[in-house]
Structure 1
């Protein structure tokens, strides 16, 4: 077996829809965040590989976990993250939760309803933010807002890529009951452009995702590290803009991603807004200590 990194899609941290360890994150934390990203990226690419049979995907994900936990050194990304976790006295649980989600990607191709999708996000998205918060020594009281934001980011990605996921992997994250409520089946995702009914379905899901973003809006003010708070505010701003795009654009036939300049301007606006709110909030001065 080759190392799983050799099967990577070519996607890197600079190609994601949202910032990954941007310059806003303090240099002392950036390497730890990127080690986690590289581990997750390889595992995600295993689960999404179009040619690998399911049994090999699951075997490779098991090798990733074994390398993470120290019973194997077969996967360099697992070894690297293991060393970071040991150096910082952090648990591997967040990475393990993501591996659980990637195994589910291999074996579960449909989601019945919104709650089913959110339960998937509990393992596929929420642990990412929780890990970053742990690296920064933030309180677990921030996890509620984190979880809402991370779930929203995941669902935005699902809606953006709904046609590609169905076409390439026969995987559908659009809840089946949402499709049925609009008299649709998953085959609607194979059309060259969305019907009015599918547009209505996607718009409704985008609106529901916006409710998650309302819940996550206080998140940046809850974070003590001001640089991380600015990063989170930038991500919140990007997510809110993308929800707006998904409410008006067809992901089957139109661009529903932001360009690099749009990402930069939207994220910068969010980060500066967060700094302004921190300066004028009633938060204790200790909030600005880092």
Structure 2
């Protein structure tokens, strides 16, 4: 299996839980975002392929890196992203960090504790937001809030898909120490319905995710680009809603993902909140005695 199409899942940007190159983003930047997304999607499909041998997956990820670095013949997605990044004067480091995460997905199927999971998120999630910030010319002072939001999004996906990941890939992102503290093992993820112990674990992790989202709540206000700030507000609102659902619902037996109408309503609320906040800063009354 030497071509990305051999690993393709058929999943595209419209199938993701969170918006990709949405209409909120400046039109001239969307082609670069989509090149980055297609590279990441192809690498994710490689790592998650249910029947390919680990050595074949690692070889394909190496070809993707070669295409990204210089060899256009090695991989189409890598070469396309390299051209897009060069046209914008952007680094390839964020894409290389993602490849590190996908290699871990091939070689590591368990995470000992929250710290180990957060280290994984540093490579699997944070680079996506950092790329978007660099593309928009934003200050790297925003990276801390970005990393918190991206890590939260990653954990939300892990919790939503915990049963599927275990059954299809024997991959468990729920930290083993949390399972052990509640007297259960990874086999609990194979049940048709979560046990009270597993529900307690998921709730604890959702609460930690809520703490990450509290850190990222200031993120949209730190962003200079109005349209990107609105996009971040949408994502923050969707993430907060999903986290609340994970505290109440069972991802093994219930649908946690938003339905389209639900997602649209939440997204509009998130964008409106950011818009009102930005207007408030523009029209905030000056203190008495302050020069006009």
TM-score scaled to structure 1, two decimals?
A: 0.96
In structure 2, runs of 5+ residues without a counterpart are 285-292
Rounded to whole Å, the distance in 2 between the matches of 1:13 and 1:259 is 16
- Output one character per residue of 1:85-139: Cα deviation in whole Å (capped at 9) or x when no partner: 1111111000000000000000000000000000000000000000011110000
- Note the aligned Cα RMSD (angstroms): 1.2
Contact 1:25 1:228 (C-alpha < 8 Å) held by counterparts: yes
| Alpha-carbon offset, residue 2 of structure 1 | 4.2
CA distance in 2, matches of 1:137, 1:76: 27
Whether the 8 Å contact between 1:97 and 1:123 is mirrored in structure 2 is yes
Distance in 2 between residues matched to 1:268 and 1:26, nearest whole Å: 18
- Aligned to 1:281, the other structure's residue is in SS state helix
Q: Establish whether residue 161 from structure 1 lines up as the match of residue 161 from structure 2.
A: yes
Partner deviation per Cα, 1:126-180 (whole Å, 9 max, x = no partner): 0000001111000000000000000000000000000000000000000001111
Q: Which residue in 2 is equivalent to 1:239?
A: 239
Per the alignment, residue 40 of structure 2 pairs with: 40
Distance in 1 (CA, whole Å) between partners of 2:192 and 2:281 is 49
Q: SS state of the match for residue 237, structure 2?
A: helix
Instruction: Report how many aligned residue pairs link the two structures.
Output: 284
Match of 1:91 in 2: 91
Cα deviation, 1:52-72, whole Å, max 9, x if unaligned, reads 000000000000000000134
Q: Which residue of 2 aligns with 1:14?
A: 14
1:51 aligns with 2:51: yes
SS at match of 2:248: coil
Q: Is the 8 A contact 1:97 1:124 kept in 2?
A: yes
Shift of 1:19: 0.6
Q: What is residue 152 of structure 1 aligned with on the other side?
A: 152
Deviation at 1:74, TM superposition (A): 2.5
Q: 2:288: which partner in 1? A: none
Q: Equivalent residue for 1:199?
A: 199
Equivalence for 2:125 = 125
Change in CA separation of 1:2 and 1:129 when aligned onto 2, cut-off 3 Å: same
Look up the match of 1:110: 110
8 Å Cα contact 1:111/1:117 also seen in 2: yes
Partners of 1:283 and 1:62 in 2: how far apart? 52
- CA apart distance, 1:264: 1.1
Query: Deviation of residue 281 (structure 1)?
Result: 2.0
Deviation of the 1:282 alpha carbon: 5.8
Please give the alpha-carbon distance, in whole angstroms, between the structure 1 residues aligned to 2:5 and 2:101. 19
Asked whether the equivalents of residues 63 and 72 of structure 1 are also in contact (C-alpha less than 8 Å), the reply is no
| Inter-partner Cα distance in structure 1 for 2:3 and 2:27 | 29
Ranges in structure 1 where 5+ consecutive residues have no aligned partner: 285-290
Residue 8 of structure 1 deviates from its aligned partner by 1.0
2:283 and 2:100 mapped to 1: Cα distance? 38
Task: Verify the 8 A CA contact 2:234 2:271 in the aligned structure 1.
Answer: yes
Runs of 4+ in 1 over 3 A off after TM superposition: none
1:188 matched to which residue of 2? Answer: 188
Q: Is the 8 A contact 1:3 1:74 kept in 2?
A: no
SS of the equivalent of 1:78 reads: helix
- 1:266 correspondence with 2:237: no
Distance 2:183 2:114 in 1: 17
- Note if contact 2:68-2:81 (Cα within 8 Å) is conserved in structure 1: yes
> TM-score with structure 2 length normalisation?
0.95
Deviation at 1:283, TM superposition (A): 9.3
